Amino acid sequence: MKVILLGTAAGGGCPQWNCACRLCTSGLVPRSQDCVAISADGAGWYLLNCSPDIRAQILGTPELRAGPGPREIPLRGVLLTDAELDHALGLLMLRESGGLPVWAPSAVLAALSPFRAIVDGYGGWTWSSLVDVPGLRVEVLPVSDKRPKYASAGSGGPWVVAYRISDPATGGVLVYAPCLRSWPAGFDAFVADASLVLLDGTFYAPDEMAGVGGPDQLAMGHLPITATLPRIDGRRWAFTHVNNTNPVLDPASAEHAAVLAAAASLPSDGTTYVL
């Protein structure tokens, strides 16, 4: 299984357009919004979430570029972890694909009805909560009841899931969990024997957003890295979905060093794994 990190930042990317915090103005290498591409054979690719930056991410990734036919594309589908706009707005950019299957929890599909109405007008789209990715085994674990601000409270959850994706041919296992409000029941078993765990790295500490006037991290649905590091046990852990306020973005910071000391990594956009 091939895994490409198309984007590794939280909503808004880094730098964020409406932010002048220290990290956004420090000249760090930019990061686009979180999105991952996976493939069992290197020919057909599936997206995990679909960020607003998807056009630039596709054009910057040779494996995802159109061809050899004039309108032939390698994208085969999209798996959404939730209905947050940062993870779903890219579907509108893919409206010209000719149609793709999209998999997500039922509550997420209901919340995205306005998006579905738009892209369905371009034909060929299917929407389902039952995941079916040829060549790969996909398991789903509900991890949070965090509902997007725009979504109606009438729909039941789960609102956020993590994916465990296994390649039967190689034994490689990817766990993708960019949004964790807590360390949920069953998560230890879910990540057991994983070759790579892409974990929520949105914030480093519980009070991080106070510096820019934001709410606390748990209210935003993200477990801080300080609560996660003690649980890392030598598996291949990597933090993604990193917010522009997170000091781990600075390679010279003590927070960055703490992550590396825990045997975890902070991969940049474009990082590729073969599992």
Residue 206: per-residue pLDDT: 84
**Rounded-to-integer distance, Cα 245 and Cα 149, Å:** 21
Write the CATH number for 110: 3.60.15.10
Cα–Cα distances (Å) from 26 to 52, 64, 265, in that order, read 24, 31, 21
**Rounded-to-integer distance, Cα 156 and Cα 260, Å:** 39
Residue bearing tokens 């801080």:
224
Residue 153: per-residue pLDDT: 72
Token pair of 255 as six digits? 């927070």
Q: What is the model's pTM?
A: 0.95
- Find the domain containing 52 and state its range: 2-274
The segments of the chain whose pLDDT lies below 70 read 154-155, 208-220
The percent helix, strand, coil of the chain (3-state, each to 5) is: 25, 25, 55
**Total residues belonging to the chain:** 275
Residue 152: per-residue pLDDT: 77
With CA atoms as reference, report the closest residue to 73 among 9, 124, 129, 5: 124
Alpha-helix runs per DSSP H in 225-268 = 225-228, 254-261
Residue 157: per-residue pLDDT: 77
With CA atoms as reference, report the closest residue to 160 among 173, 148, 175, 174: 148
Neighbour-count burial of 72, counting CB atoms closer than 10 A to its CB (0-12 exposed, 13-18 middle, 19+ buried)? exposed
Q: What total number of domains does the chain contain?
A: 1
